[in-house]
Amino acid sequence: MEPPARLNGGVVEEKKKHMADYQNFEYDVLVVGAGGAGLRAAIESSAAGVRVGMVCKSLLGKAHTVMAEGGIAAALANVDDRDSWKVHFADTMRGGQYVNNWRMAEIHAKEAPDRVRELEAWGAVFDRTADGKILQRNFGGHKYPRLAHVGDRTGLELIRTLQDHGIHQGIEVHMEHTVVAILKDRERVSGVLAYERERGRFKIFKTRAIVLATGGIGRAYKITSNSWDYTGDGHSLAYHAGAELIDLEFVQFHPTGMIWPPSVMGILVTEGVRGEGGVLRNKDGTRFMFGDIPDNYKAQTADNEEEGWRYCQGDKSARRPPELLTRDHVARCIVREIKEGRGSPHGGVYLDISWIKQKLPKAAEHIQRKLPSMYHQFKQLADIDITREAMEVGPTTHYVMGGIRVHPDTQMSSVPGLFAAGECAAGINGANRLGGNSLSDILVFGKRAGEFAARFARENPAGVIDGDHVEEAVTQALGPFDRATQGENPYQIQRDLQEMMQDLVGIVRKEEEMARALKGLETLWERACKVGTSGNREYNPGWHTALDLKNLLTVSEAVTRSAIDRQESRGAQFRDDYPRKDDAKWGNVNIVLRKGADGAMQLRHEPIPLMPSHLKQVLDEMK
């Protein structure tokens, strides 16, 4: 591949760059990503007294965490004193269909309450109970009201609290920078190569430890609730640096995204709507969720509408309505209604919160107070007043349970010095994540990643930067400028990938379709190698889109290979050709991926370690 000749308005660069030409920074811990997990990790590392740098793709405070709506799950037991870490642990394992990393689920359930209380000490202002404590709401798969929240903008509260606390901690933040490669010194990490968006210059960040907190992969799909930066960067960077990925077949499709008008398709409609009493109906007005309640949830699910409503009103003797079953199941039921001809005019189903006016005085005000963003979003984007009429909704790609395989206690990956937290790490959620568990996940494991990365940095000297790797990565990254407008349009390749993944590796999967997707990925890889960019390096989104393709293609391949391999239906993975759960063969197995010596993706099965008796006992108690 030829190095670049024509850059920055025609300035000709030398054929071979030397590392001294790049701006250099040096830290003990470098955090990549500034959402909840990254910020929490950076705060913890800096509190440990090491030098902390942070690199993020967008401006500070704009990360995907702001879009989290419903709440943060923690067994505070403020609303229902029967709640405890044990119930939260059991709910998380049941929701994940028992292929979760049980140790992570245990740590998460035990530590989440402290992480929430800590936010309050840093200035967060959660909604309150009548006696002045943090209020908690109902959510899918959680036995008791467990989600601490601020209306339906909990993620904004969380990220702003961490941001406003973090800016006084001495963390150096490099905004609008994107990492293109993790650099290693033999086995361990020694730094990263990144480019800044503003001028398009490359920078080397030398560091003893890295915390990846880059979020998810939703932009691999056409219909998604995820923002532009969710291109699987952390997954892909870690994979190409030799780390293992796990559980990639499990991609969560949130049951309720907007579907009309077309330009808003995929935008999230919070599960909080159902937590506040919203119901799902098909075009005939039937509450179809009552017709399909899985056996393992029958005992804790209401069997009539009246009981479901009492649950939403806080009646402790009532069981939760079937709309609050886990997301994987609700999404599939919606797909079935649509496929069998009982969908709404624009190809979704109805989500109705306005009906509560039959039950509550001043229902319209109540809805506006509890779900202000939803009210605003539908009013402004779809001309729908949710206090008066039903919304039309359908599934949208929302979250990836799979990610970088990490040690449950330290969050270190299989590469020494490389840590990961939040959505890009895996284990806690198993085959399906419960709503509200991601905000607690990013805090609990963000903190741990920051703590152990700082410890690693203290205990290990700095590594050496591999100059050849830097040159190779820079040359590759500048390739699109050589091909300029002769090359393929990066937006077109991205779009073709999104359509293919949506159609062939979506909610309902079949071997033969996914095999076609693998073939399609080969073609897309070839096209991506020929991608071209017009313009120069300064804030050029065409170039950025071209560079993101490698990550999107890597994670799409990981999802597809894992999904083909798991020949059963479990949680978010639904196989039309293997519609049953196969506990004997798959109930105790995680699929692990890594990059082989030949550069090809290697897949292996790994048995889930035996659960210790004290946790088994918890599950038995909670049955």
State the minimum distance, in angstroms, from the CB of residue 8 to other proteins: 12
Closest to other proteins by CB, 304 vs 380, is 380
Closest to other proteins by CB, 310 vs 366, is 366
Q: Which stretches of the chain bind other proteins, using CB under 8 A?
A: 58-64, 66-67, 117, 120-123, 125, 127-128, 131-134, 150-151, 153, 155-157, 160, 164-165, 167-168, 175, 198, 227-229, 260-264, 267-268, 372-373, 376-377, 380-382, 489-492, 495, 533-536, 538-543, 545
Closest to other proteins by CB, 76 vs 431, is 76
| DSSP letter, residue 236 | H
Between CA 501 and CA 178 the distance in angstroms is 24
Between CA 109 and CA 436 the distance in angstroms is 12
The radius of gyration of the chain's CA atoms, rounded to the nearest angstrom, is 24
Exactly one of 274, 509, 527, 566 is catalytic; name it: 274
State the minimum distance, in angstroms, from the CB of residue 439 to other proteins: 15
Contacts of 365 by beta carbon, 8 Å cutoff, 6+ apart: none
Closest to other proteins by CB, 156 vs 312, is 156
Token couple for 122: 């840093």
State the minimum distance, in angstroms, from the CB of residue 597 to other proteins: 36
In terms of Cβ atoms closer than 10 Å to its own Cβ (0-12, 13-18, 19+), residue 127 is middle
State the minimum distance, in angstroms, from the CB of residue 526 to other proteins: 20
Closest to other proteins by CB, 168 vs 186, is 168
| DSSP letter, residue 293 | -
The residues that bridge with 23 in the sheet, in sequence order, are: 203
Closest to other proteins by CB, 51 vs 537, is 537
State the minimum distance, in angstroms, from the CB of residue 156 to other proteins: 7
Q: Is 274 a catalytic residue?
A: yes
| DSSP letter, residue 345 | T
Q: Is 168 a catalytic residue?
A: no
Please state, as a whole number, how many other Cβ atoms lie within 10 Å of the Cβ of residue 612.
11
Please state, as a whole number, how many other Cβ atoms lie within 10 Å of the Cβ of residue 529.
15
The residues that bridge with 578 in the sheet, in sequence order, are: 575
State the minimum distance, in angstroms, from the CB of residue 563 to other proteins: 27
| DSSP letter, residue 322 | G
SS3 185: strand
The residues that bridge with 30 in the sheet, in sequence order, are: 53, 210
Exactly one of 254, 327, 448, 527 is catalytic; name it: 254
In terms of Cβ atoms closer than 10 Å to its own Cβ (0-12, 13-18, 19+), residue 623 is exposed
Strands of 168-287, DSSP E: 172-174, 177-185, 188-196, 202-212, 245-246, 251-258, 279-281
**Positions marked catalytic:** 254, 274
